[in-house]
Amino acid sequence: MGYTGSNRMSKLAVTMMAAFLLTACFPAMPAVKAASAYDTAVLADNPVGYWPLSSTVTTDQSGHGLNGTFTGSPTDTTMPNGDAAPVFDGATQYFTIPDDDYLEVTRTGILTIEAWMRPDVLQFTHSESSGYVHWMGKGTSGQHSWVARMYSLTNTENRPNRISGYSFNLSGGLGAGSYFQDTVTAGQWIHYTLVINTVNTSATYTTGYTKLFKNGVLRDQDKLSDYSIVPGNGTAPMRIATRDLASFFQGAIGKVAVYDYELPPAQLTAHYTAMTN
């Protein structure tokens, strides 16, 4: 049976009203990152926080609601698997996640921090102290927790492009940490994992240890007791591309994950493979 002009107008009015009600009752939801094979592998290991990151996606994919915000407007680049990641300008751009117990060693006594980083220069313009940048971390004066660090090619400690990670006492000072110091190529992606563990003690590691992995391979392990480190529960936010605005990383950072247990090496290898294959 055909429609008259009046029937067609009535049907159009109903359709428009339905569209209006849907828009009013169900406003557009914030962007959610479509999971890649890498994202699926990470989420299967139950991180307490996971930020795949791109210039438009700021949500924590772990389900714990630790959403962050960008300062500045970084552009996007492509990771080895084709996913997007933000490129920070090394001067004004960074990503901030508010303080939460999930981001501290003290919650379970163990914290694993995993990320992909791509330095785009070997000599950083906005560095600090002897010539390094804090490219991720949680710490401000009197509220120090942990940090990921990279040295410039030329620095006063003669540590060319050393990449390291540290655990601190709340008061700061020298931290206990681990590192690798390889030749770095600007524009090359590196899979970084820092472990801080105060639970698995032994005759050698009487109060725990730090470990640092590169591309899924353990490169260094050190004692927390060397610097009498007893991690505390700080109040500083976690930042990516800087720690406390004293230095800034120039390059790309993506796929940042935090776990409340020590991620087994086999899982790190699986993550590395998921990205590079």
> Do the beta carbons of residue 125 and residue 91 sit within 8 Å?
yes
Does residue 4 lie within any of the structural domains?
A: no
pLDDT at residue number 3: 38
Distances (CA, A) of 203 to 37, 149, 160, 195: 40, 29, 33, 19
> Which one-letter DSSP state was computed for residue 208?
-
Task: Report the candidate in 128, 109, 103 with the shortest Cα–Cα distance to residue 257.
Answer: 103
Question: Would you place residue 24 in the very low, low, confident or very high pLDDT band (cuts 50, 70, 90)?
Answer: very low
**Count of the separate structural domains present in the chain:** 1
Structural domain containing residue 88: 34-276
Does residue 19 lie within any of the structural domains?
A: no
- Taking the whole predicted model, whether its pTM rises above 0.95 is answered as no
Does residue 21 lie within any of the structural domains?
A: no
Please report which residue ranges of 26-143 form alpha helices under DSSP H: 37-43
Does residue 112 lie within any of the structural domains?
A: yes
pLDDT at residue number 34: 61
Does residue 6 lie within any of the structural domains?
A: no
Distances (CA, A) of 141 to 68, 111, 147: 21, 21, 13
Whether 63 shows a pLDDT value over 90: the answer reads: yes
CATH number, domain at 134? Answer: 2.60.120.200
